[in-house]
Amino acid sequence: MKTVVLGFDALDFHYLDRFENHLPNIRRVRESGVEAPLRSTHPPWTGSAWPSMYTGTDPSYHGVYGFFEYDGYPDRRTHVSRLDVHQPAIWDYLSNEGPRSIVVNVPVTHPAEPIEGILIPGYLAPEDEPGHPDGIRDELSDAIGEEYTIYSSDETNSNLEAKFRGYLELIDKRRRGAVALLERHEWELAVFQVQKTDAVFHHYEDERRFLEVYRAADRFVGDVLDVVDDANVVLCSDHGIGPVTGYQINVNELLREHGFVEPTTDGGESTGGIDKRKLVDVESDVGEQEPGRLERTIGLGRKLAFRLGITPADVYSGAQRVGLGDTLVELTPDALRATAVNERVDWRTSRAYCEKGSRMGVRVNLSGREPNGVVPQTAYEDVRDELVSLLSSLETPDGESAFEFVCRREKLYDGPFIEDAPDVCFLPSGMDHTVSHALFGRQFIPVEKHDHKPEGVFIGAGPGFSPANSIDRLSLTDVAPITMGLLGRPVPERMTGSVPPGVLTLRPDRRSYHGVQYGTGETELTPDDGEVTERLEDLGYL
């Protein structure tokens, strides 16, 4: 039975319900099939989640915990690719037995591997990634009457109007490309992904923008439904999204205060992210402008603030609270900005540290494992005990628990790549807080934005589903096994996800698949020329 999987990054039931009257095609799928909240993997981020979806395994089995692979320490990192995902994808299992697939725009699928069918990678592939087979992008461009692109025009443009137009144009391009491929090629499985249902929430606050992108996604669904007739259709997301109104938790500040993190200002890479750059990206002509009353008032207080030891975080937090971020930050003393830029975690001398906020955990600098490990193997469990206790007891300035859970990694993972996971894992309470690895001078900074939530969307319709049954919740790793079942094939034993009873009309068996080739793309990976980094920064991953 043919099956189409439509992946929409960060699609969330809250907004599907809110915009229901504007989404007739998605509503049609919901009314005729089954649906359930889809629990993302830990951490719930694009780089680790989509590989979990297409392999049916969690990060400890496929080996990718984010967009970066670390060579010992976070300042020695490379962007991940399909070559770092150490499990077969759904389409690899099919290729092993002959059926053809169409796979377009799925994150972390570059370089394109030679499957039976078509594969055009998505985020973070270089724009000139050719895909498989040779010439497929030229063919697709001819079919839609313009150049097919992986990224939108004005992808990282600071002009929000131009950026948004690019979002809508790209979804429309993806829609027309999907229809062309489905109509022109043989296939049993088709997987298409749309990224901008996530990006719009990271850059805009106006709900009308969210609605426009959801309506574009709905049109995509409608056109695919018109082409595939009675095929099974799955709509899914890698995680959810929603308002975050709590705090940015600066975990390494907490660890510094308790003697785990050692700071340094001696060269190396700054650990700052988007928010921290606001402290240092100052227009060159700020000092030449005629100061107004506000500027003069602030100017009189700058030296006093510096003498009193007011940190960059204090300036930034105060600016946020009164809505004068850019003005106040621009007037921050140069020396204070210099400290903000230069101070970072000394990865090699620290006992433990948060490698990256999106990793949702703390790594121990363990002797015999890390190149410059300082924690003896005999002290490993004691250090983890301290970290679990410290993080579990952390409260926000409002007196509430900062984390929903704090645990050793073994409670979340049991796969062969568990050594790459943080030694202690956590999740912010209600995902109403964000996490930063930067040194800001304080543990908490108020934040108000949209960001990821652990539960995404699963919607399925077609002859392979049992619509009479309700499902409480599914795991993101269940999508691949369910898809294999929809295709009438046994679920690979390597998949850690499952097909819960009552989801499908026929529950598939499990079996071993021998000789499955995967991750064999031969395209030379393009070195990061700055564009990859810009795209990660654009979505807040740096």
pLDDT tens-digit readout, 194-218 = 999 999 999 999 999 999 999 999 9
User: What pLDDT score was predicted for residue 316?
Assistant: 54
Strands (E), 216-268: 232-236, 240-244, 247-250, 263-264
CATH 3.40.720.10 occupies which residues in the chain?
3-244+451-538
Q: Residue range 246-252: average pLDDT?
A: 97
User: What pLDDT score was predicted for residue 23?
Assistant: 98
User: What pLDDT score was predicted for residue 437?
Assistant: 94
Take residue 485 and report the two structure tokens written for it: 């079942």
Q: Residue range 1-7: average pLDDT?
A: 96
Strand partners, 194: 8
Rounded CA separation 222/103 (Å): 19
User: What pLDDT score was predicted for residue 313?
Assistant: 53
Q: Angle at the Cα of 229 (from 49 to 495), degrees rounded to 5? A: 30
User: What pLDDT score was predicted for residue 532?
Assistant: 57
Average pLDDT for the chain: 87
User: What pLDDT score was predicted for residue 323?
Assistant: 52
In this structure, is the dihedral angle defined by the CA atoms of residues 218, 223, 226 and 227, taken in order, positive or negative? Answer: negative
User: What pLDDT score was predicted for residue 538?
Assistant: 60
Rounded CA separation 245/72 (Å): 34
Q: Considering only residues 304 and 49, tell me which one the structure prediction assigns the higher pLDDT.
A: 49
Closest CA to 38 of 194, 240, 241: 240
Closest CA to 358 of 260, 451, 246, 221: 451
Out of 72-76, 184-188, 297-301, 392-396, least confident range: 297-301
User: What pLDDT band is residue 537 in, cutting at 50, 70 and 90?
Assistant: low
Rounded CA separation 248/150 (Å): 32
Q: Residue range 176-198: average pLDDT?
A: 98
Rounded CA separation 52/86 (Å): 11
> Which H helix or E strand runs over 169?
helix 160-184
Neighbours of 538 (CB within 10 A): 19
Closest CA to 73 of 325, 264, 287, 349: 349
- Percent of the chain exceeding pLDDT 90 equals 77
- The tens digit of pLDDT for each residue in 461-477 reads 999 999 767 788 999 99
Tell which phi-psi region holds residue 422, choosing left (phi > 0), alpha (psi between -120 and 50) or beta: beta
List b or e across 132-143, with b for residues whose CB sees 16 or more CB atoms inside 10 angstroms: beeebbebbbeb
- The tens digit of pLDDT for each residue in 25-54 reads 999 999 999 999 999 999 999 999 999 999
User: What pLDDT band is residue 422 in, cutting at 50, 70 and 90?
Assistant: very high
- In this predicted structure, the answer to whether residue 306 has a pLDDT above a threshold of 90 is no
User: What pLDDT score was predicted for residue 467?
Assistant: 77
- Percent of the chain exceeding pLDDT 70 equals 82
CATH 3.40.720.10 describes domain 3-244+451-538: yes
List b or e across 200-230, with b for residues whose CB sees 16 or more CB atoms inside 10 angstroms: bbbbbeeeebbbbbbbbbbbbbbbbbebbee
User: What pLDDT score was predicted for residue 530?
Assistant: 59
